[in-house]
């Protein structure tokens, strides 16, 4: 089946989240992504969460749809095979994606001796090449000090900078490949995890708010900054988030709750126009005082019926078990998902790409490879090894 990136081949040297996610994003769009690991797996091969049998659910989740080869990278022959895979000929090949430090064999300048139009995309920690991970970047971003409702920092459990960087990696590789198609020139692209954080702070106005307005944002708990959004307890001990970014969304809340007179009186008492986004933020605590008892007297199911009928912008708080039980889109009812038998783990729900292309039939979700699963075929088809040579490499423990 033709897929958007079926003529692209990427070799991935990676660990942890960002680079594997970038590679998987492209693999699920049809690119042939070949993951090279040391024999026995890289440092993230056993990372939590684990299956009951001890296999990494994390590793399997981030490496779907790829091929795997394991090499003794501490040996000259293993490194030579890796270079041959990275710099293999072909119009859609010659692309390296990595978040590992450049070495004497994986540096872009060394690899271009084998293929001058090579594309290398390397994720760094900091711009100067020093180390950083999501957790160290996040603590320096300012976000933990405006998360929650206290002055103590609160780390978000979502590795947001790794995820954002992973998608930048996929975008950067496609841009570099387009440039190569147009000019015939390869290049090295570098991106720093810390720069992803800094760019995001700038893009969302956080930096300019401090520089121009001299405003240091305070922690607001679950309130939405600059508009109305707050969480509320229901009669059956659940919690919901209710949001009004636009005048229409605010009118829908008023209509759903039947509290028009109360909110009109609130506006008159405060001198604020509750149809204005900023005024709703200023009046957020007073609005919550009106909404809180109304929501607290109703169950989640009743709220769902009333809110959906009036097109209120809202959502229930859930743990992940509740999400899988209650949300039909977190199941095979959503065509993004399939139940896939992952080797070493067993059948479970797996997502494909969230991108849907109208002109292409959606393909099957493919599991992550077993470590080294494609070693023989990659040695044969790309490196050009004979069956006897492959046996020799195995016996010498250069490959596994």
Catalytic center residues: 162
Do 45 and 59 form a contact (C-beta atoms < 8 A)? yes
Residues in the chain, overall count:
400
Rounded to whole angstroms, how far apart are CA atoms 35 and 358? Answer: 29
Do 127 and 194 form a contact (C-beta atoms < 8 A)? yes
Rounded to whole angstroms, how far apart are CA atoms 97 and 134? Answer: 19
Rounded to whole angstroms, how far apart are CA atoms 232 and 211? Answer: 34
Do 91 and 68 form a contact (C-beta atoms < 8 A)? no
Question: Helix H segments across the chain?
Answer: 18-27, 57-62, 76-86, 108-111, 134-139, 160-183, 193-203, 206-213, 247-257, 260-270, 277-282, 284-296, 300-309, 320-326, 375-378, 387-395
Rounded to whole angstroms, how far apart are CA atoms 162 and 354? Answer: 18
């Amino acid at each position: 089946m033709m897929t958007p990136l079926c003529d692209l081949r990427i070799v991935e040297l990676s660990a942890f989240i960002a680079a594997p996610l970038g590679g998987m994003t492209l693999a699920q769009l049809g690119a042939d992504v070949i993951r090279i690991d040391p024999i026995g797996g890289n440092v993230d091969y056993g990372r939590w969460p684990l299956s009951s049998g001890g296999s990494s659910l994390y590793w399997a989740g981030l490496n779907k749809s790829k091929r795997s080869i394991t090499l003794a990278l501490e040996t000259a022959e293993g490194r030579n095979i890796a270079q041959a895979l990275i710099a293999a000929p072909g119009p859609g090949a010659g692309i390296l994606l990595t978040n590992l430090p450049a070495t004497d064999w994986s540096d872009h300048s060394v690899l271009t001796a084998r293929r001058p139009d090579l594309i290398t995309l390397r994720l760094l920690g900091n711009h100067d090449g020093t180390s950083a991970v999501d957790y160290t970047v996040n603590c320096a971003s300012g976000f933990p000090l405006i998360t929650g409702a206290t002055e103590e920092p609160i780390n978000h459990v979502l590795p947001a900078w790794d995820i954002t960087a992973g998608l930048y990696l996929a975008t950067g590789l496609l841009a570099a490949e387009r440039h190569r198609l147009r000019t015939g020139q390869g290049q090295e692209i570098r991106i720093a995890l810390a720069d992803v954080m800094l760019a995001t702070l700038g893009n969302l106005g956080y930096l300019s708010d401090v520089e121009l307005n001299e405003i240091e944002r305070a922690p607001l708990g679950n309130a939405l900054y600059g508009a109305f959004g707050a969480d509320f307890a229901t009669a059956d001990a659940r919690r919901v988030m209710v949001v009004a970014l636009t005048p229409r969304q605010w009118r829908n809340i008023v209509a759903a709750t039947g509290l028009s007179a109360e909110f009109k009186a609130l506006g008159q008492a405060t001198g604020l126009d509750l149809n204005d986004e900023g005024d709703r933020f200023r009046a957020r605590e007073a609005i919550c005082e009106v909404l809180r008892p109304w929501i607290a007297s109703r169950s989640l199911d009743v709220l769902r019926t009333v809110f959906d009928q009036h097109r209120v912008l809202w959502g229930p708080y859930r743990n992940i078990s509740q999400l899988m039980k209650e949300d039909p889109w977190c199941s095979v009812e959503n065509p993004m998902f399939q139940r896939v038998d992952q080797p070493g783990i067993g059948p479970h729900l797996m997502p494909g790409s969230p991108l849907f292309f109208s002109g292409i039939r959606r393909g099957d979700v493919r599991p992550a490879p077993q470590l080294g699963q494609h070693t023989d075929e990659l040695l044969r088809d790309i490196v050009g090894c004979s069956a006897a040579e492959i046996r020799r490499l195995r016996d010498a423990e250069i490959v596994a």
